[in-house]
Structure 1
Amino acid sequence: MRGVGSSRAGRGRGSWRSSKRHLWLLGLMAPLSPFVAWLLVRAFGLGLFWAAGVLLMAVVIPLVDVVAGVDKANPPDEAMTALENDRFYRWCTYLYLPVQYAGLVFACYLWTTAPMGWPERLAMAATVGVVAGIGINAAHELGHKRPTHERWLAKIALAQSLYGHFYVEHNHGHHLRVATPEDPATARFGESFWAFLPRSVTGGVGSAWRHERDRLARRGERTWSPRNDVLNAWAMSVALFAVLIAVFGWSVAPWLLVQAVIGFALLESANYLEHYGLLRAKLPSGRYERVAPEHSWNSDHLCSNLFLYHLQRHSDHHANPLRRYQTLRSMPEAPQLPAGYATLIWLSFVPPLWRRVMDPRLLAHYGGDLSLVNVVPGSVVAPERVSAGR
């Protein structure tokens, strides 16, 4: 289905309109998955459907990606300003939040009233966790924008996953240090996802806290204050969980924690694959070269891009972090993933399979020159892995 997003030229200036325009509403299927799970269980009586969110991410989207294929079409330059200012696309992300929280409340209701055993409750927690994980991506889109209300919406979206510090770290840490050994959110060649996960989580928290501490110190303000964007984002999570526990009882607390962990683990799995092994060169000055398209893995698979607000056009995002998702461009010079995130996230959970698929691609990107790769410090790479990339 190449060309789904291609332009439809009209007779006058400004008449271009994206053929993907209304497809972005499909992204709301993710936060609707707790309701879909309930309907499927009622209709078919099969407890497996409590995991509808996981089935959406692990089965439905990858299959549709295969059928729909890739979409490499970019909007014409003359349409970029009008497309950027089209408020329809903003509402596609805004609407994610009320549906996200309606699903969370509904899940709490089901955990306390529906005839579920612990496997069914765990399956529902996984579904809600998928919603939280994609919600972090909605927060990612909103948190990069200048309007104050969008930045607050980003914090609200992050509250469900206990990951409010991401708002600070991603913008002021990751975007500065991406594709360097100093970035905790850049995975290294030979590093498994399970080794990367704790390094990225702890490194991100520490980096966000240091940024806010230093920012407030420069302004002569206290670190422990409501102006600390890490603290006020975390406070939203505390308030949210406290209200849900007060309404539904302590029995929902374990499942709230489980869904939060699943949510931020999905976010970190996306981090893992976005820059795996990629490295910016150091200049004679000691500084790193500017971020370029070759420092992010990209994917133009249509369906997963629709659900992730073009996150897979990651090179353009790093080049233009304020650019809204609908205007992000496919960049052929960037290294390309063999599938969409919805497929590769699950592959990353199995390190031998991940390395079998991705290591040759990474080494081929650098012509087999291991000195250009972001390698795990002190690791020894087998010669056949280097030759595999030639």
Structure 2
Amino acid sequence: MAAVQNDEDAVLGVAARWRDRKRYLWLYGLVIPLSPFLAYVLVRYLELGVFWASGAIIIAVICPLIDVFAKLDTANPPESAMKALENDRYYRYCTYVYLPVQYAGLIFGCYMLVSQPMGGAERFAMAATLGIVGGVGINAAHELGHKRTTVERWLAKIALAQSFYGHFYVEHNYGHHIRVATPDDPATARFGESYWRFLPRSVSGSLRSAWRYEKARLGRRGKSTWSLRHNNVLNAWAMSVVLYAALIAVFGWQIAPWLVAQAVMAVMFLEGANYLEHYGLLREKRADGKYRRVAPEHSWNSNHVCSNLFLYNLQRHSDHHANPLRRYQTLRSMPEAPQLPAGYAVLILMALVPPLWRRVMDPRLLAHYDHDLTRINIHPPKRKELFAG
């Protein structure tokens, strides 16, 4: 008994001494929704219109540079500290505060678009900044939408309103997490499938899947599919309609094309993340024909510290899929998972150029499966070509 007590005391001692070194660094995530304000300051004082794209510059240039020079973050919290870390409300407040800053940035960005003497390229640059704000907002919605509290689930829908992608709340939780790393999942990219082929397949497939799920769920409960109150796809879209209508009423119809442009860029950012997160990975089938449970090796992982701070540890994707209810601050590095060569921003840009993507990622995927093509999720048009070779 004394030995057991000593072990328990040692565990409690580790938990008491451990401190999250990134605790206050999570606030850096607010740099993105603040980027429209930063853009205005930089353009005003440096008189360079390129800084209207500050949000895109932060994500695509500054963050990857920090990742290059910073050490990989492979540290995990001790098991004894996980419960207290999970229940620490400070971390959820970091995601809650993203939303008011997100919408303040959106409104300010719209004001800039209609009030400042911008050329077409400069307006596109500001739309790109707003698109990054909305895209990272989808990621904040991703974190909130996985939680069981009603408040957090509604906050997830609010975060998605800017990008007009409210059905993501339904499809991601009740479709993607069930079918991930299988040919049945529209949000899982296949080996040999370019980003440009994946994008329309994922967007349309996710939309159809979300609608089917809500229709079936409401049918089981005896509710109408067209109930705005009960249909989580419709009420999420309704938020976007109200938001866009309000912005057009305030800023005029001239803002409408830029709202569309920023939403498109936000969705492209999200789908770029979807593309790389499970590229080519495949869950094996059991003897009964069903897919085995999701494991760390079914998601690409990244421990690049700066991009993980901006994306609330989204890049520790392997642990997220293995434990989808786990909050971002407790997600662990998984050394057994396939590892990405860079952070998400770099790889999303790489995905836009399919030959470059294939040159970098295809060898890693093949090595992960010991060059056994039968274990890989292959794009159907490429299957005959690959097996013939």
TM-score scaled by length of structure 2: 0.95
Note if contact 1:83-1:327 (Cα within 8 Å) is conserved in structure 2.
yes
Alignment-derived partner of residue 33 in structure 2: 31
Aligned equivalents of 2:384, 2:14: Cα separation in 1 = 58
User: What are the Cα deviations for residues 142-183 of structure 1, in whole angstroms up to 9, with x where unaligned?
Assistant: 000011000000000000000000000000000000000000
Alignment-derived partner of residue 222 in structure 1: 224
Note if contact 2:15-2:78 (Cα within 8 Å) is conserved in structure 1.
no
Aligned equivalents of 2:58, 2:150: Cα separation in 1 = 33
Secondary structure of the equivalent of 1:138? helix
Does structure 1 residue 328 correspond to structure 2 residue 327? no
Does structure 1 residue 318 correspond to structure 2 residue 286? no
C-alpha deviation, 1:385, in angstroms? 12
Aligned equivalents of 2:309, 2:345: Cα separation in 1 = 11
Query: What amino acid does structure 1 have at the position aligned with 2:238?
Result: A
User: What are the Cα deviations for residues 64-101 of structure 1, in whole angstroms up to 9, with x where unaligned?
Assistant: 00111211000001100110011111111111101100
Identity over the aligned pairs, expressed in percent?
69
Alignment-derived partner of residue 136 in structure 1: 138
Alignment-derived partner of residue 53 in structure 1: 55
Note if contact 1:53-1:128 (Cα within 8 Å) is conserved in structure 2.
yes
C-alpha deviation, 1:16, in angstroms? 1.9
Alignment-derived partner of residue 208 in structure 2: 206
Secondary structure of the equivalent of 1:21? coil
Note if contact 1:10-1:16 (Cα within 8 Å) is conserved in structure 2.
no
Say how many residue pairs are matched. 378
Secondary structure of the equivalent of 1:278? coil
Does structure 1 residue 101 correspond to structure 2 residue 103? yes
Note if contact 2:157-2:169 (Cα within 8 Å) is conserved in structure 1.
yes
Secondary structure of the equivalent of 1:14? helix
Does structure 1 residue 272 correspond to structure 2 residue 275? yes
Alignment-derived partner of residue 5 in structure 1: none
Aligned equivalents of 2:352, 2:174: Cα separation in 1 = 28
2:248 pairs with 245, 249, 265, which one?
245
User: What are the Cα deviations for residues 260-311 of structure 1, in whole angstroms up to 9, with x where unaligned?
Assistant: 0000110000000000000011122111111111100000010100000000
Distance 1:382-1:92 versus aligned 2 partners, 3 A rule: same
Pairwise CA RMSD: 1.6
C-alpha deviation, 1:342, in angstroms? 1.6
Alignment-derived partner of residue 262 in structure 2: 259
Secondary structure of the equivalent of 1:186? coil
Alignment-derived partner of residue 125 in structure 2: 123
Aligned equivalents of 1:299, 1:381: Cα separation in 2 = 32
Alignment-derived partner of residue 4 in structure 2: none
Alignment-derived partner of residue 283 in structure 1: 286
Q: Which structure 1 residue ranges, 5 or more long, are not aligned?
A: 1-8
Distance 1:40-1:213 versus aligned 2 partners, 3 A rule: same
Secondary structure of the equivalent of 2:380? coil
Aligned equivalents of 2:367, 2:231: Cα separation in 1 = 44
Aligned equivalents of 1:117, 1:72: Cα separation in 2 = 45
Distance 1:12-1:263 versus aligned 2 partners, 3 A rule: closer
Structure 1 residue runs of 4+, over 3 Å off?
Answer: 9-13, 380-386
Aligned equivalents of 1:335, 1:143: Cα separation in 2 = 26
